[in-house]
Amino acid sequence: MSETAKEEKEADHHPYYRPKDAATLILVDRTAATPKVLVGKRHDKVVFMPGKFVFPGGRVDKSDNRVPVAAPIPKALEENLLKGSPKITPSRARSLAIAAIREACEETGLCLGRNTSGTAPALEGPWKFFTEAGLLPDPSGLFLIARAITPPGRVRRFDTRFFTADASAIAHRVDGVIHAEAELVELVWVEIGSKPLADLHPMTKNVLGELEKRLAGGPLSHDAAVPFFHFYGGKMHKDVLGA
């Protein structure tokens, strides 16, 4: 049974769940002719998508909006995040961008930040890696690539914003995050279009296709149209945020 068929089958057996805010970060290395993206292989024993290659990401935490940052999110990025329905606040938009950075650092050990010269407040919990490295999270290099909502009827539903950032934005690497018993057991930089990416979740492949088109057009820009994937009447629809 295909992944899409599995989703449709599952959607027939569960009540409605309100999607939760989530964020995913696709890191891109453009130093070679063919861009590479960073994917992680999930542990075989996790409940959701065991053994699959995924991009780092997860749910937004309530504390994400309160974390001090090295620079504010770009105004154009905020405007893109505020597009669409339901309407959200600027603080919620900020939380989405910060969550993408936090999840990437937690799951891969790669942290997007900026040196604070020892003047930043000490951060706790999942942000301790930034404090230890003398960094604050830096969302200034993020771009919004797509938004996607899991179809109704799923046990786990997410309203996910997919961000991208250049690999040059990685300011710190934490050792020991990737290991045999971790959520992600392996990290791989793979060329867009290569075999490991063929096994991605169907929706993630849709988003990756959008990123590939954006990269082919030259430098990333906040002015590009941002697609919105959602389900209505049992079918997937692709709209443009703000259209």
pLDDT by residue, tens only, the chain of 243 residues: 334 444 444 444 555 678 999 999 999 999 999 999 999 888 777 666 777 888 999 999 999 999 999 999 999 999 999 999 989 999 999 999 999 999 999 999 999 999 877 666 788 888 999 988 889 999 999 999 999 998 887 778 899 999 999 999 999 999 999 888 878 889 999 999 887 788 888 888 999 999 999 999 889 999 999 999 999 888 999 999 987
Q: Which domains does the chain have, with CATH numbers?
A: 3-38+57-179+190-240 (3.90.79.10)
Q: Residue 100 in 3-state DSSP?
A: helix
Q: How far apart are CA 155 and CA 136, in angstroms?
A: 35
Secondary structure letter of residue 60 according to DSSP: P
C-alpha 22: how far from its chain's center? 8
* Strands, E assignment, the chain: 20-29, 36-42, 53-54, 57-59, 110-115, 135-137, 143-149, 158-166, 170-173, 184-191, 227-232, 235-240
Contacts 24+ apart (CB under 8 A), 114-121: 114/70, 114/71, 114/138, 114/171, 115/171, 116/70, 120/68, 121/68
Where helices occur in the chain by DSSP H, the ranges are 3-11, 75-82, 90-108, 128-132, 202-216
Task: Give which of 71, 72, 64, 74 is closest to 104, Cα–Cα.
Answer: 64
For the chain, how many residues are written? Answer: 243
**Amino acid, res. 215:** L
pTM of this prediction exceeds 0.85 = yes
